[in-house]
């Protein structure tokens, strides 16, 4: 293992690149002459990651990225057979599960990986928050991250309806009703999402377009900016270590950090294969819009804390509709979450900000508590 103390002074990347190129021959030199990869390779050779007792949290961004890639690959495979439409969606998923060779495996990996990815994303977001990785100059990395978080929740919400089964149909009805509670624009948002007043085949087409075209384009755009910023700025050292002014050990990204990431991805792949094989994702029964809603209908686990928050609000708060007040409160909280780096000025100036640490822990405890309550209630 190759450990260095503190960041070595950066060399002139062009000089390194020219040196590297001149040492290469064959395909590498041919490509370098045409694409000018030298500076990129020089950057990757010099890239390093702080190594300390909190370093384990740095692996969750890469893990989320890996699971996102699994989603893209398995999603494209599913597209070969999936057919959106009220009369064909459920049947096409049934065909994938029963007739297509390894179709059940691909679909189960897609569904399990979606859940693991959202779990990994929550860990990444809150670890970055608690290590104050959002402080200057990384404000835009945080902002693109929060937008990615919303996009990923959008993937979860839109994907849930695609098999067109009973549970998904009623969960989407409830979910879109919640969007309808937003003051002033709520009804327009509800109609825009549903493509009418009710959840129908039109809703399915819209969710399909969102899931396979609109959200992927937005996600790739945001992800590119997020990753580009990380390359430019490197990974931050936690504020607590920075304040001690102790020399920080830095681990070269290639191969040391990257090989560790690979081990994590390998374990995740094994976990996905085991989960998909031992507990294939269920399909349920085909949606019947005229049937009564199944008893105890709940949204997916990652929306439970929001659902639970709205469920126990009184019908009227200060004379206003309880759901409307709840939805407004959640929207304001999300908006503030985006602006955290600009609100926590102390951390950006290199000082401790215990109030923000307390906000982070309260949010974590609230989300876990509400999710467990929603699950067992
Ligand atoms: C699809 C979603 C996402 C992917 C694939 C992703 C990927 C990554 C990767 C690979 C890193 C570098 C390693 C690390 O620190 O873990 C990183 C860093 C970072 N991410 Fe994300 N991320 C995502 C979402 C988010 C979210 C939701 C937030 C916050 C709300 C966020 C905020 C940050 C910040 C501030 C850093 C810099 C941390 C530092 O320098 O210490 N990211 N991300």
Please write the tens of the pLDDT for every residue from 2-43.
444 444 444 444 444 444 445 567 888 889 889 998 888 899
CA count, 13 A, side-chain hemisphere, 166: 13
The closest-lying atom of ligand 1 relative to the alpha carbon of residue 65 is 5
CA-proximal residue: ligand 1, atom 25 (nearest): 145
In Å, the largest CA–CA distance within the chain is 76
Substitution candidate for ligand 1 out of 65, 121, 145, 231 with most atoms within 8 A of CB: 145
Q: What pLDDT, on a 0 to 100 scale, did the predictor assign at position 37? A: 87
Residue 31 lies in a domain: no
Residue 4 lies in a domain: no
Parts of the chain with a pLDDT under 50: 1-21
Q: For ligand 1, say whether the CB of 20 is within 6 Å of any of its atoms.
A: no
Round to whole Å and give the CA distance between 327 and 196: 21
Substitution candidate for ligand 1 out of 140, 226, 241 with most atoms within 8 A of CB: 226
Residue range(s) defining the domain that contains residue 165: 47-298
CA-proximal residue: ligand 1, atom 33 (nearest): 142
Substitution candidate for ligand 1 out of 70, 127, 128 with most atoms within 8 A of CB: 128
φ, ψ for residue 237 (rounded to 5)?
-95, 135
Q: For ligand 1, say whether the CB of 128 is within 6 Å of any of its atoms.
A: yes
Round to whole Å and give the CA distance between 308 and 312: 6
Q: What pLDDT, on a 0 to 100 scale, did the predictor assign at position 296? A: 80
Q: For ligand 1, say whether the CB of 61 is within 6 Å of any of its atoms.
A: yes
Round to whole Å and give the CA distance between 156 and 266: 24
Give 208's contacts (C-beta < 8 A, 6+ positions apart): 84, 158, 162
CA–centroid distance, 57 to ligand 1, in Å, is 10
Q: For ligand 1, say whether the CB of 155 is within 6 Å of any of its atoms.
A: no
Q: Are 75 and 265 in contact (CB under 8 A)?
A: no
Q: For ligand 1, say whether the CB of 152 is within 6 Å of any of its atoms.
A: yes
Residue 225 lies in a domain: yes
Q: Are 144 and 134 in contact (CB under 8 A)?
A: no
CA–centroid distance, 155 to ligand 1, in Å, is 18
Substitution candidate for ligand 1 out of 50, 55, 58, 61 with most atoms within 8 A of CB: 61
Which helix (H) or strand (E) is 326 found in, with range? helix 322-338
Give 159's contacts (C-beta < 8 A, 6+ positions apart): 114, 207, 211
Give 28's contacts (C-beta < 8 A, 6+ positions apart): none
Q: For ligand 1, say whether the CB of 239 is within 6 Å of any of its atoms.
A: no
Residue 351 lies in a domain: no
Write down the residue that tokens 């709940």 correspond to.
Answer: 298
Q: Are 20 and 83 in contact (CB under 8 A)?
A: no
Q: Are 327 and 310 in contact (CB under 8 A)?
A: yes
The closest-lying atom of ligand 1 relative to the alpha carbon of residue 235 is 40
Round to whole Å and give the CA distance between 117 and 275: 14
Q: For ligand 1, say whether the CB of 236 is within 6 Å of any of its atoms.
A: yes
Q: What pLDDT, on a 0 to 100 scale, did the predictor assign at position 297? A: 85
DSSP secondary structure, 192-233, as one string? HHHTSSS--HHHHHHHHHIIIIIHHHHHHHHHHHHHHHHHHH
Residue 8 lies in a domain: no
Residue 68 lies in a domain: yes
Q: What pLDDT, on a 0 to 100 scale, did the predictor assign at position 29? A: 86
Q: For ligand 1, say whether the CB of 148 is within 6 Å of any of its atoms.
A: yes
CA–centroid distance, 197 to ligand 1, in Å, is 38
The number of distinct structural domains making up the chain is 1
The CATH number of the domain where 196 resides is what? Answer: 1.20.810.10
Q: What pLDDT, on a 0 to 100 scale, did the predictor assign at position 23? A: 59
Q: For ligand 1, say whether the CB of 257 is within 6 Å of any of its atoms.
A: no
Give 137's contacts (C-beta < 8 A, 6+ positions apart): 233
Residue 375 lies in a domain: no
CA-proximal residue: ligand 1, atom 37 (nearest): 133
Residue 328 lies in a domain: no
Q: Which of 43, 18, 60 has its CA nearest to residue 233?
A: 43
CA–centroid distance, 328 to ligand 1, in Å, is 27
The closest-lying atom of ligand 1 relative to the alpha carbon of residue 134 is 35
For residue 35, the SS3 value is helix
The closest-lying atom of ligand 1 relative to the alpha carbon of residue 117 is 1
Q: What's the predicted TM-score (pTM) here?
A: 0.92
CA–centroid distance, 65 to ligand 1, in Å, is 9
Q: For ligand 1, say whether the CB of 134 is within 6 Å of any of its atoms.
A: yes
Give 171's contacts (C-beta < 8 A, 6+ positions apart): 160, 161, 297, 298, 299, 300
């Amino acid at each position: 293992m190759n450990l260095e103390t503190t960041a070595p002074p950066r060399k002139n990347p062009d000089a390194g690149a020219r040196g590297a190129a001149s040492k290469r021959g064959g395909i590498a030199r041919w490509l370098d002459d045409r694409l000018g990869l030298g500076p990129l390779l020089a950057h990757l050779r010099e890239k390093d990651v702080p190594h300390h007792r909190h370093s384990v949290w740095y692996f969750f961004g890469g893990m989320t990225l890996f699971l996102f890639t699994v989603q893209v690959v398995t999603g494209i495979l599913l597209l070969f057979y999936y057919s959106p439409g009220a009369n064909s969606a459920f049947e096409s998923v049934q065909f994938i599960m029963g007739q297509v060779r390894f179709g059940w495996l691909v679909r189960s990996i897609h569904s399990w990986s979606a859940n693991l990815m959202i779990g990994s994303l929550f860990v990444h977001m809150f670890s970055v928050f608690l290590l104050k990785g959002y402080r200057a100059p990384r404000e835009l990395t945080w902002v693109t991250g929060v937008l990615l978080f919303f996009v990923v929740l959008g993937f979860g919400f839109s994907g849930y309806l695609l098999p067109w089964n009973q549970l998904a149909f009623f969960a989407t009805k409830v979910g879109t009703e919640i969007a309808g509670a937003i003051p002033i624009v709520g009804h327009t948002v509800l109609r825009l999402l549903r493509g009418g007043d009710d959840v129908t085949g039109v809703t399915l087409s819209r969710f399909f377009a969102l899931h396979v075209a609109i959200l992927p384009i937005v996600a790739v755009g945001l992800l590119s900016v997020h990753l580009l910023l990380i390359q430019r700025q490197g990974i931050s050292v936690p504020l607590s270590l920075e304040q001690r002014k102790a020399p920080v050990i830095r681990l070269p990204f290639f191969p040391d950090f990257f090989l560790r990431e690979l081990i994590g991805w390998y374990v995740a792949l094994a976990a996905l294969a085991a989960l998909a094989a031992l507990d294939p994702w269920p399909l349920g029964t085909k949606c019947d819009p005229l049937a009564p809603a199944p008893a105890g209908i709940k949204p997916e686990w990652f929306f439970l804390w929001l659902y639970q928050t709205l469920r126990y609000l009184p019908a009227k708060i200060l004379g206003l509709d309880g759901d409307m007040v709840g939805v407004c409160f959640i929207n304001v909280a999300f908006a503030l979450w985006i602006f955290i780096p600009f609100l926590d000025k102390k951390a950006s100036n290199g000082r401790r900000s215990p109030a923000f640490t307390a906000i982070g822990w309260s949010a974590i405890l609230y989300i876990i508590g509400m999710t467990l309550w929603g699950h067992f209630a």
